[in-house]
Chains A and B, each alone.
Chain A
Amino acid sequence: MASGIKDKVAILGMGCSRFGERWDMSEGALMAEAFDEALADASIGRESIEAAWFGSAMDPVNVGNSAIPASTALRLDGIAFSRMENMCATGTETLRAATYAVASGAVDFALAIGAEKLKDTGYGGLPPPFKGTFNDMWLPMNSAPAGFAQLASGYRAKYGVSKDELKRAIGHVSWKSHQNGVLSPKAHLRKAVSMETILNAPMIAEPLGLFDCCGVSDGAACAIVTTPEIARALGKKDVVTIKAIQLSISSGIETTTNAWDGSYVRNTRAAAKRAYVEAGITKPREQVSLMEVHDCFSITELVTMEDLFVSRDGGAVRDVLDGFYDRDGGVPCQIDGGLKCFGHPIGASGLRMAYEVYQQLLGRAGPRQLASPSIGLTHNLGGVPFQGIAAVSILGLS
């Protein structure tokens, strides 16, 4: 009988580059920026790392296939190093892989590193993806915001929310993240914006305006993991352990049958349920101190509050507008600015979420430090709400 990974793996060190338009930095240089910080935090040398996973999602840009661009950039010679790609959930996937490597007893030290160089495309937003030769035959070539905007349509229909009310609620989601981004020195967007600006921004995919969409950024983040015992032996007093990492993927039910109403993300619910069981959490609204969720679009964050069982179904609009997820609310969400303002270099995002939770749990978050958090949750979503990959991880002080 499987026993899960709770408390079997500790985070020994983490690093995160500054996110944003890093015109002067190559993807390798961004990786090095995050890697140097993680090595210093872990107090080990690179030669200790035995296995590594490199997350990078977008083939049309970036450094190319395989983990070789990462192993050469970081000069990690002769180790087991693999490339990971699972769309926008890639970052958490690298952490899952490294965690499993340590939990299995295969290695003592494993590295998870994610990086993305999105500002080499020549335009804003993500490059149009290659959907595969068969899907190209029939699937519309819509943008990412158009995929997530379907949620707004489904959510309004299910709960009878007016267009205006939903627009205000998702506007508040972005407003709050901009407030938080101001206090986040490595964030891409560090400017507060008014609700008026958010609500009147140009339309991208109805009802998502410009400010309902996250930043498209360059960046890298990484984690070095080991066992809690080794972490303590290396002198770590406060040890952050992994309480759970769970993943859920679609099999086509949402897109092909009439079993889904468009108002929620099925995979997030599945991954969250399993993660709460693995971590022993029964009342997330009370037990989770902070959350870093996949707010690629404001509507995604809103429905995720219900999919993570923190807001009741149909209750997220009220919770959001009441400020429950603001910095001074019940469960602060996106305290570092989130994808919205910290930025979304795809392969790095899941690790960036873990980085913020890790900093908060260790009391190192500076001006945005929350009062004694004990459990933090990350939620990383790949693909689209109706066909994708949800990754939920729970970190805590052991």
Chain B
Amino acid sequence: MAEFGIIAHGAYVPRLRLDRKIIAEAHRWMAPGLGEGAKGARAFRSWDEDCVTMAVEAARDGLRGADARKIASVTVASTTFPYADLQHSAIVADALRLPSSVRSLDMASSQRAGVSALLQALRMGEESLVIASDAPVGKPGSARELSFGAGAAAFALGRGEPLARLVSCHSRTVGFVDHFRPAGEPFDYFWEDRWVRDEGYLALVPPVVEAALREAQMTIGDVKTLVMPSMLRGAAPAVARQMGFKGALASDLDKDCGYSGAAHALLMFSAALDEASPGERILLVGFGQGVDALVFEVGKKPAPIAGRRGVAGALKDALPTDSYLRMLSFYGNIELEWGMRAEKVNKTALTEQYRSSHQTAGFVAGRCRACGAIQFPQLQYCVTPTCRAGSDQFDQLSLVDAPAKLLTHTADWLSYHPAPPLHVGFVQFDNGARLMMEVVDVGPGGVEPGAPLRMVMRVKERDAARGYVRYFWKSTPLDIG
């Protein structure tokens, strides 16, 4: 009989990276100690990325190994959702073109949200997609500004030959407030690290782990890998020591990503799963207002999946940047003079957005059944001069994964753009479709016509006056030169 468990998973880490020494150097005048031991680079989200766009990218990576048509529920976990009342998992479901019968749910308000969402779905036992995506914001000048990162991981659950199945689990809910962030506020407020370590991680995690292992009739010695995320440096090895764990600590991805909030546990778990061998046990811990401990047994080794990058691929696909102020501006932590052009009214006609969502949300082109031309946008009649069939003659075809190249290009320094210059050009799809698109994540070497591109969902418009965020697809160089 087919077993239930994790059947596919994938990840996304923003390409943009900033060497921690650059951040520390910017603050040396006020916090000379900040740079001590500052190593590696942190990932940071671009101005047009957020937990929604990263969730979509992680899910696309993960779903390469699964059948999206079977998914019955989708959950997105984050602590940096842009909306208090507008469901992000619904936006993600639309972008991924999940079945319209899918149930959607957001999970928020805790660093444990990602692990808890996965646990819920595992216990539910149905075909589902769990995504954790977060871009926590470290206050400028704080140690967390250096240690935080951004990223997303997605897990598809279902029946078959799972990559991993849940053996046992145990949870405990504790009103332990190590930090908090009031609704609508940008930054966390933290209590003393030493107290959080001793009374939080060291006191709360081991008993829950022990209970989970007991249920599985195992001991800590049966666990090969411990996935112990923590925004507190050194907490994971301390917990491991306390529990007498002699196995391998899963990488905290500190070297080229940083702690990614509610997404971090699943990002680490996804990376660990890619490295694991059949039969191994992985212990996944979620911490925040209590503890979730999940014991997994690794199943079959999957055959390589075309196009899937996983955590390792996402980490490798890095675009090093050179300015602390760029990151500060992308996170909205500094107000720069953008000139009058930035005053443009960006009000979204919600009626129009809904009306056109069948093509804009999932980047869906029409393929004319009469002449075969693939076209985006889909207007009333076919674009081919000799055809002109009505749009009711169009089959629907997403361009999201269609191979494409840059046809023409310029770098626009005149338009208001939060990441100047605005790279824009005609994108020519191999299947014949063509449209003008923004090109994002362009390295210092620029991008030339002919460059292979892939499509990514990004923030199209942020309406500062009304707080509305609207998404669309943009192109990005396949390889950063």
Contacts and interface: CB of A to CB of B under 8 A. Distances in A.
Do the two chains belong together in a single complex?
yes
Interface of A: 121-123, 125, 128, 133-134, 136-143, 145-146, 149-154, 157, 202-208, 251-253, 255-258, 262, 386
29 contacts: A122-B340, A128-B344, A134-B352, A134-B356, A138-B472, A138-B473, A139-B436, A140-B422, A141-B344, A143-B415, A145-B410, A145-B412, A146-B412, A150-B409, A150-B426, A153-B409, A153-B425, A157-B408, A204-B412, A204-B413, A251-B385, A252-B383, A255-B434, A255-B436, A256-B383, A256-B435, A257-B434, A386-B426, A386-B436
B408 A150 contact: yes
Interface of B: 339-341, 344, 348-349, 352-353, 356, 360, 373, 375-377, 379, 383-385, 407-417, 421-422, 424-426, 428, 432-438, 449, 460-461, 470, 472-473
A256 to B, nearest CB: 5
Contacts of A152: 410
Contact of A146 (B340, B424, B437, B449): B424
A52 to B, nearest CB: 32
Contacts of A138: 360, 376-377, 435, 460, 472-473
Nearest to B349: A133
B379 A252 contact: yes
Nearest to B406: A153
Given A134-B356, A142-B410, A150-B408, 10 more contacts: A128-B415, A138-B460, A139-B436, A142-B424, A150-B410, A208-B410, A255-B434, A256-B375, A256-B377, A257-B434
Nearest to A128: B344
A252 B387 CA distance: 13
B373 A145 contact: no
A310 B426 CA distance: 28
B383 A140 contact: no
Nearest to B341: A128
Given A143-B414, A150-B425, A137 B460 contact: yes
A204 B420 CA distance: 11
A252 B384 CA distance: 9
A128 B413 CA distance: 14
Contact of A133 (B352, B377, B413, B434): B352
A274 to B, nearest CB: 17
Contacts of B385: 251, 253
A270 to B, nearest CB: 12
B408 A256 contact: no
A143 B438 CA distance: 12
B238 to A, nearest CB: 49
Given A133-B349, A138-B377, A154 B408 contact: yes
Contacts of A153: 407-410, 425, 449
Contact of B422 (A142, A202, A252): A142
A188 B151 CA distance: 53
A256 B356 contact: no
Contact of A257 (B379, B383, B415): B383
A121 B344 CA distance: 12
Contacts of B461: 136
Contacts of B472: 137-138
A256 B422 contact: no
A138 B353 CA distance: 10
B230 to A, nearest CB: 41
Contact of A123 (B340, B375, B435): B340
A136 B424 CA distance: 15
Q: Which 7 A-B pairs have the closest CB atoms?
A: A146-B412, A149-B410, A153-B408, A133-B352, A143-B414, A150-B408, A133-B349
A174 B344 CA distance: 30
Contact of A256 (B434, B449, B470): B434
In this complex, which of A134, A154, A251, A256 has the most chain B Cβ atoms within 10 angstroms of its Cβ? A256
B361 to A, nearest CB: 10
Contacts of A253: 383, 385
Residue in A121, A134, A142 with the greatest tally of chain B CB atoms within 10 Å = A142
Given A137-B470, A253-B385, A257-B434, A146 B352 contact: no
Nearest to B474: A140
A15 B422 CA distance: 40
A117 to B, nearest CB: 16
B416 to A, nearest CB: 7
A141 B408 contact: no
A262 B425 CA distance: 10
Contacts of B383: 251-253, 256-257
Contact of B408 (A137, A143, A207, A262): A262
B222 to A, nearest CB: 53
Contacts of A125: 341, 414
Given A121-B340, A138-B360, A252-B383, A143 B449 contact: no
B460 A205 contact: no
B384 A257 contact: yes
A122 B437 CA distance: 29
A123 B341 contact: yes
Interface centre among A140, A204, A251 (most CB of B within 10 A): A140
Contacts of B437: 140
B414 A146 contact: yes
B352 A137 contact: yes
A128 B340 CA distance: 10
A146 B422 contact: yes
Residue from the set A123, A151, A206, A386 with the largest chain B CB neighbour count within 10 Å: A206
Contacts of A251: 383, 385
Nearest to A263: B408
A128 B411 contact: no
Contacts of A257: 373, 375, 383-384, 432, 434
Nearest to A145: B414
A142 B412 CA distance: 7
Nearest to B422: A142
User: Which of the listed residues B341, B344, B375, B384 has the most CB atoms from chain A within 10 Å of its own CB?
Assistant: B341
A380 B356 CA distance: 33
Given A121-B340, A157-B449, A386-B426, A137 B360 contact: yes
B377 A134 contact: yes
Contacts of A157: 408, 449
